Amino acid sequence: MASSPHKHMDVIHAVQEYVNKMLKEPGMKVLVLDKETAGIVSMVYTQSEILQKEVFLFEKIDNVSKEKMLHMKGVYFIRPTQENINLITDELKDPKYSKYHFFFSNTVNKVFLDDIAKADEQDVVAEIQEYFGDFFAINPDTFSLNMQSILSKRSLGWAMNINRLVDGVFSSMLALKKKPIIRYSSNSEATRYLSEKIAERMSRERDLFDFRKTNESLLLILDRKDDPITPLLHQWTYQAMIHELLTISNNRVSLANAPNIKEDLKEVVLSLDHDAFYRENLYKNFGDLGASIKDLVDQYQDKANTNANIQTIDDMKKFIENYPNFLSFSKTVSKHVALMDELSRIVSVNNLMDISEIQQELACNHDHSSVYSRIIEIINDPKYSEKDKLVVVMLYSIRYEDGHVWELKENLTRVGLSPKQISLIDSLKSYAGAQLREGDLLGTKNIFSFAKSVVKRGLQGVSNIYTQHKPLLHEILDNILKNKLKEQSYPFLSPTNTKERPQDIIIFMIGGITFEEALTIYTFNSLNVGVCRVVLGGTNVLNCNQFLEDISETLRK
């Protein structure tokens, strides 16, 4: 909320506030959620925290048990979809709970309201509210809509899910209490379409935006295709790595595939609020992370030792008091150690160091001859996995679109990749070829910037070759900060004459975001405290596998 500065533009906090408000009603409650809101709530609240608020039961809305619980109040947090409304109206005709409190995660149209009113024959509906928590808050400055395969308008999911997309972005603006001006990426049909839809929605729901004007704010809608490199690269920061190699879904990570894993660690939960170690090391790179883990283990050993020597009654008392803490601490330690163990195992099995080096080389440098021979070597070396080979060639095809892509494909076929896998390279080109991209992804569109990047590299050198790549978002943010974002590339939806630099920025990327971009946002925000604050949203959080899958989806028309 705007009142406390560090909570300003914080999506996790916003959703938490919504949930708090919902459960403020005293008395015994049942919290009823649908599939999506269950995810939304579980991202920001643990079950035990909700139980403290007199919630005695969790229900899925599609649960059909007809056991009457007239001593309970039903608190519904659901999306306003036709299905849910149907379920509600059926329920109201034969109510299970004494009172019904409906909280919709988005605007409810008149027809739905009418339906509910008609069904409410017994006068059990106590309130109907719209709480705009219609997105999955991942980090304080990052949210996603958990929608797969909507890379472009041609994708399969697009037509079916456009409303969900608009709902999600719309609710994020309201949750952050912003009435932004809208800009979009000019070379993309999808961004323009979405921004028009949102503007339409804003003018229709004018009353909701009737709050005291806060800071100058901006909604920038980008398209994944402007930067297809980032999701292909291997990541080396903690959160990004876990997602890349193990996939985080709704804050949960499955370790089921790891060898010799203990039963209780098969699925671990990574919550920013409850895991201090995770929170602190979210953006640390793999090397630093090793050191942090070592510290953590040392701490653990210390504690274990103090626990071991109990001499007096006083010690015992202390031990008993500290034991629950100690237990949860030990759980955290074992969780992170297991995670690290699994990550390093995957890294060494797949020789990801080498792969990442060549990936970074391709992403950042323009030196064809040496890179080409290295790629040929990698393709012919059986110790690298097929996927990594494919990704390297894809990166090559982005960097050198007119280069020897054809020969490399031949090579890939020869080492045994299926034609379907190889066709992804063409799909990528038709999705995000150089002609289709907006902005200067490779820094080669004009000589000036090319020279600048070369000089910069020559002068400063590179601190870490594995993390030298900066996503396109970085440049966009820089330009926003200098208020020099080009109007031809990122036009305003409606002509405005404000030339002020926006202070609160919501960036939404159609096609999904990556944790590397989340890191960029995080660094940007911490460098510009009090100047500018950015929240990044996307249809999904991508990792390489997901991105490849989405690209193959675009092929089917």
Partner 1 sequence: MVWSDRTSEFGNLAEAIRRKQEQNGVQLSQRKLSPANQKSQFSYAAAKISRGVFETSEKLTKLTNMAKNTKLFMDSSAQIEELTFIIKQDIQSLNRELSALDQYVKSSRQPNKQTGDHSETIVGFLNTKLISATKDFKDILEVRTESLKQQQEKKDSFAGYSSNTYSTTIDNPSDNILYKYDEEEDYDSSAQEHSILMPTELTTTNYTASRLRAAENISSTIHQLEGIFSQLANLVSQQGEVIERIDANMDDTLLNIGRGHDSLVTTLYNISSNRSLIIKIFLVLIIFSIIFIVFFA
Catalog residues that contact partner 1 under the rule CB under 8 A.
1, 14, 17-18, 21, 107-108, 113-114, 116-118, 120-123, 125-132, 174-177, 207-209, 211
Pairing of strands 181-184, 248-249: unpaired
CB of 208 to partner 1, least distance (A): 6
Q: Which residues contact 463 (CB under 8 A, 6 or more apart)?
A: none
Nearer to partner 1, 85 or 270 (CB): 85
CB of 116 to partner 1, least distance (A): 7
State how far the Cα of 183 lies from the Cα of 179, in Å rounded to an integer.
Answer: 13
CB of 494 to partner 1, least distance (A): 21
CB of 120 to partner 1, least distance (A): 6
CB of 128 to partner 1, least distance (A): 5
Nearer to partner 1, 18 or 329 (CB): 18
Nearer to partner 1, 3 or 460 (CB): 3
Nearer to partner 1, 120 or 386 (CB): 120
| DSSP per position, 457-470 | HHHH--S-GGG---
Instruction: Provide the 8-state DSSP code for 535.
Output: E
What are φ and ψ of residue 182, in 5° steps?
-110, 135
Nearer to partner 1, 117 or 462 (CB): 117
Nearer to partner 1, 9 or 151 (CB): 9
The sign one gets for the Cα dihedral 423, 428, 431, 433 is negative
Q: Compute CA 118 distance to the chain's CA centroid, rounded to the nearest angstrom.
A: 39
State how far the Cα of 54 lies from the Cα of 73, in Å rounded to an integer.
Answer: 11
Q: Which residues contact 390 (CB under 8 A, 6 or more apart)?
A: 412, 417, 421, 422, 424, 425, 548
Q: Compute CA 551 distance to the chain's CA centroid, rounded to the nearest angstrom.
A: 18
Nearer to partner 1, 201 or 234 (CB): 201
State how far the Cα of 110 lies from the Cα of 132, in Å rounded to an integer.
Answer: 17
What are φ and ψ of residue 31, in 5° steps?
-95, 120
Q: State how far the alpha carbon of 94 is from the alpha carbons of 75, 122, 124, in Å.
A: 16, 9, 10
CB of 182 to partner 1, least distance (A): 17
| Lookup: tokens for 99 | 């009172």
CB of 269 to partner 1, least distance (A): 26
What pairs with residue 139 in β-bridges? 142
CB of 52 to partner 1, least distance (A): 22
Nearer to partner 1, 130 or 341 (CB): 130
* Single-letter code of the amino acid located at 121: E
Terminal Cα distance for the chain, rounded: 43
